[in-house]
Chains A and B, each alone.
Chain A
Amino acid sequence: MSTETRPGTADPRTEPAPPVVEVRGLHVSFPGPRGPVTAVRGLSLTVGAGESVALVGESGSGKSVTARTLVGLAGPGARTTAELFRIDGHDAGALSDRRWRPLRGRRIGFVLQDALVSLDPLRRVGDEIAEALHAHRTVPRAEVPARVLTLLAEAGVPEPGLRARQFPHQLSGGLRQRALIASALAADPALLIADEPTTALDVTVQAQILELLAERRRAGRALLLISHDLAVVARVADRVLVMKDGEVVEQGPTAEVLAEPRHPYTRQLLAAVPRPRARGTRLSGPRAGSALPRPRTGERVVLRAEGLGKSFAVPGHAPLAAVRDVSLTLREGRTLGIVGESGSGKSTTGRLLLGLAAPDTGSVEVDGQSWQGLRGARRRALHRRIQVVHQDPLSSFDPRYPVARIIAEPLAATGVPRRARAGRVAELMAQVGLGPELLHRRPRELSGGQRQRVAIARALAPRPRIVVLDEPVAALDVSVQAQVLDLLAELRAELGVAYVFVSHDLGVVRHVADEVLVMKDGEVVESGDIAEVLTAPRHPYTRQLLDAVPHLDGPNPGKVR
């Protein structure tokens, strides 16, 4: 694989200061059952003072291992070799664990993807940050409490005094991530390494975290951002390195790499981002950019909900209204997007549509038939008309079952004789693009994308009219997300099935949906034709969601207010 290097990679502003990280020819390997497995091969990376660099690649590309190696935490058994490995002017190849310690935190801050597991659950947030301050003795003991509050405030945490006294579980995902960033920045390190800092977050929160990182870059601090999504790094990074299978395949200034990618893999990653103008075209594979088959749509209403309401009892509080007065109509072969953040009631709406929960008010009609009062065989028959695909398919499979049995389950439920099932299972496997060699694997042995394909095959088995897709791509890398979105579009055209596409990502919904419902705090704040809602959003929340979608097409207009 050739490395595409561009001239003028180094930022001229940072030339005089010595680089924070200087690595040449880095190799990292781990012992495996069949000999060592190489995770990083021949990586060279320089991060100058005040520079912002992004490392982009999909799961397994070696980007996280690289990040961990840079702080001396490659992991047990890792073999690290490098021609040159200098951190902050020290030769890191020769550093003992003892000598690493003062570098971590003080010179390099490190933020992990999942803030919930990175923060001690038994410790108050303020104490966590205070500990980082004590460890590095950067401020006198007496000033620590005040400094903690300043750090939290700088990380964009509202009411820092209150938050510092709370425990991690009392904070939302976005606040936790900020608290973690605040503790990583406690000693004001020259370089902050952030490994997928926004992957688990809602888009609006992601936008805030990215803005926080961009703020730091403007303050002249170096940043190394690790991500699977080129669109996420586009706003923050001066320079991008694209990694694949442990090697850097392309690098250069962000704008150049995004505007004219040279390596086919970079082009593939770029094509995978659902951009506004990519609507109706393929996102993945060699045919990326070509038109998708046109869906077969009709005027017949297959799903209708009127005035849906559902609240949950909360001990010691007034009942929590999860969904209030939601109405929707879905016609044959069309896709309805439901967009909102966590807690907006979009998943509860999905459950009401599926007949898994009974609404307190209103009604749901599938194919003209209401769930209300429907029991026994007739209810089960209606279940088969509206199927579901979850965000985490693994938890929706019986762990004892191999793939063949998972896909055959709905057939068995409808009483298809055992011998007739195999043929239909093979047909479904082919439809979702899974090879027959996977039939006898267990779901745990499959990749995230393969699992989602199995879930789609199972949902299609009873030939439903509607499939509810509940965050079907939220847990996937952008490139795998692109494959799954393409597959869903092809299946829709082929089978004439209608989708309810529930997602927190307006970018994805914009790509797939014909109509959209924007939900906030259990209510629909805006709805209608996707093009109309997106070109002229009426509700400020819709505008906010739209601004938060990371894009590749130049600077974000939303930021120039």
Chain B
Amino acid sequence: MVIPRIRPGVALGLAVCVLLLLAALAPGLFSGTGPDAANPADTLLPPGSAHWMGTDENGRDVYSRVVHGARPSLLIGLAASALALAAGTLVGVLAAQGGRTVDRIAGRLLDVLLSIPGVLLVLLVVAVLGTGTGNLVAGLALVTLPGYARLVRAEVLRVRGTGYVEAATVLGWSRLQVVLRHVVPNAVGPLVALATVGVGGMIVTGSALSFLGLGPQPPTAEWGAMLAGSGDYVQVAWWTAVFPGAAITLTVLAVSAVGQWLQDRAEGRVAR
């Protein structure tokens, strides 16, 4: 096997992603104190040796809350992307393979979804279904789905005309088997990389909606919600806003760098 040569930026992104995943899976590794352990005596302490990132208005350790905030933030980004990818693939493959009527109906529905501005659509979903992480994820996925579905449909049509699909027919696979073995994997391949880039955007939008109070509810440690909570104190205690904000920025940069790299690889723009 050839050991891939990775650009330093991508390596850094990968390292950050690994740290984030660890923080999301086992926050205890990074922080001994709980995110909700409040100490009324230590409110709004600046960063120091006891609290690296200071404390918030309730005397909770900001560092601990940033570490614990990785889980809901990543969960929203990854779950929404995965859901959008799965649903988009399903709709796209059905539209491409299901005949003219199915294709037309799917196309019109996607047009309707695309015509509504993204944030409004999420607000609508949350307004109807109620606030909470699950509904936020559903809303975010619904916004992203039409683009993915369109792309999958186009890719399926392209892959269906390739020589290897015809070759598979000659080799004696059934139509369904050809679709599952060759058409779908090759149609979705480029999309997976694109979806990884999309995770960053999902995290930002998710955080923005949490900031508006539509996502995970207090006292859950979530970066967007932490930013929202810091609003009243940011003039006297900058650390309550800067660290969660930096966490969002760093995560998006790292995830996007890795996603871009995956996409380049998928399109054969970098050597294996």
Contact = CB atoms under 8 A, between A and B. Distances in A.
A458 B186 CA distance: 20
Interface stretch (B76-84, B169-177, B214-222): B169-177
A381 interface: yes
B163 A380 contact: no
B149 to A, nearest CB: 22
Given A398-B186, A400-B186, A400-B189, A356 B166 contact: yes
A380 B174 contact: yes
B235 interface: no
Interface stretch (A281-289, A406-414, A487-495): A406-414
Interface string A352-380: 00101000000000000000000010001
Interface stretch (A144-152, A188-196, A385-393): A385-393
Interface in B208-259: none
A380 B164 contact: no
Contacts of A388: 167, 170
A410 B172 contact: yes
Contacts of A462: 171-172
A535 interface: no
B74 to A, nearest CB: 28
Nearest to A381: B172
Interface string A385-426: 011101010011111100000000110011000000000000
Contacts of A504: none
A384 interface: yes
B170 A387 contact: yes
A383 B164 contact: no
Given A396-B163, A399-B186, A400-B186, A409 B174 contact: no
B168 to A, nearest CB: 7
Contacts of B163: 390, 392, 395-396
Report, as a range, how many residues of chain A touch the other chain. Answer: 20 to 34
Contacts of A356: 166, 169-170
Contacts of A384: 171-172
A133 B204 CA distance: 59
A420 to B, nearest CB: 17
Interface in B144-164: 162-164
A410 B169 CA distance: 10
B119 to A, nearest CB: 37
Contacts of B98: none
A396 B165 CA distance: 7
B185 interface: yes
B171 A413 contact: yes
A1 to B, nearest CB: 32
A397 B163 CA distance: 7
Interface in A428-483: 458, 462
A409 B170 contact: no
A386 B166 CA distance: 13
B172 A414 contact: yes
A413 B173 CA distance: 6
B156 to A, nearest CB: 15
A319 to B, nearest CB: 21
Most A CB atoms within 10 A — which of B168, B169, B171, B173? Answer: B171
B164 A396 contact: yes
B164 A398 contact: yes
State the main secondary structure of chain B at its contact with A. helix
A1 B157 CA distance: 53
Contacts of B166: 356, 396
B182 interface: yes
Given A400-B185, A400-B186, A400-B189, A395 B171 contact: no
A457 to B, nearest CB: 12
Interface string B168-205: 11111110010000100110010000000000000000
Nearest to B182: A398
Contacts of B171: 383-384, 387, 409-410, 413, 458, 462
A387 B171 CA distance: 7
Nearest to B162: A395
A279 B189 CA distance: 48
A354 B189 CA distance: 30
A354 B185 CA distance: 26
B192 to A, nearest CB: 12
B167 A383 contact: no
Nearest to B272: A442
B164 A395 contact: yes
A409 B173 CA distance: 9
A383 B169 contact: yes
A225 B163 CA distance: 34
Given A390-B163, A395-B163, A396-B163, A383 B185 contact: no
A483 B234 CA distance: 77
A1 B81 CA distance: 61
B186 A383 contact: no
Most A CB atoms within 10 A — which of B169, B172, B177, B182? Answer: B172
Contacts of A397: 164, 167
Most A CB atoms within 10 A — which of B163, B182, B185, B186? Answer: B163
Contacts of A392: 163
Nearest to A392: B163
A400 B183 CA distance: 12
Nearest to A411: B171
Contacts of B164: 395-399
B185 A413 contact: no
B258 to A, nearest CB: 20
Contacts of A387: 170-171
Interface in A131-181: none
Contacts of A354: 170
Given A399-B186, A400-B185, A400-B186, A413 B162 contact: no
A356 B168 CA distance: 11
Nearest to B189: A400
A474 to B, nearest CB: 15
A356 B163 CA distance: 12
Contacts of B173: 380, 413
Interface string A55-84: 000000000000000000000000000000
A335 B153 CA distance: 42
A131 B168 CA distance: 48
Interface of B: 162-164, 166-174, 177, 182, 185-186, 189
21 contacts: A356-B170, A380-B173, A383-B170, A383-B171, A384-B172, A386-B170, A388-B170, A396-B163, A396-B164, A398-B164, A398-B168, A399-B164, A399-B186, A400-B185, A400-B186, A410-B172, A413-B173, A413-B177, A458-B167, A462-B171, A462-B172
Interface of A: 354, 356, 376, 380-381, 383-384, 386-388, 390, 392, 395-400, 409-410, 413-414, 458, 462
Given A410-B172, A413-B177, 9 more contacts: A380-B172, A380-B173, A387-B170, A387-B171, A396-B164, A398-B168, A399-B186, A400-B185, A413-B173
Interchain residue pairs A-B with the least CB separation, the first 10: A395-B163, A396-B163, A410-B171, A380-B172, A396-B167, A384-B172, A383-B172, A413-B172, A398-B164, A413-B173
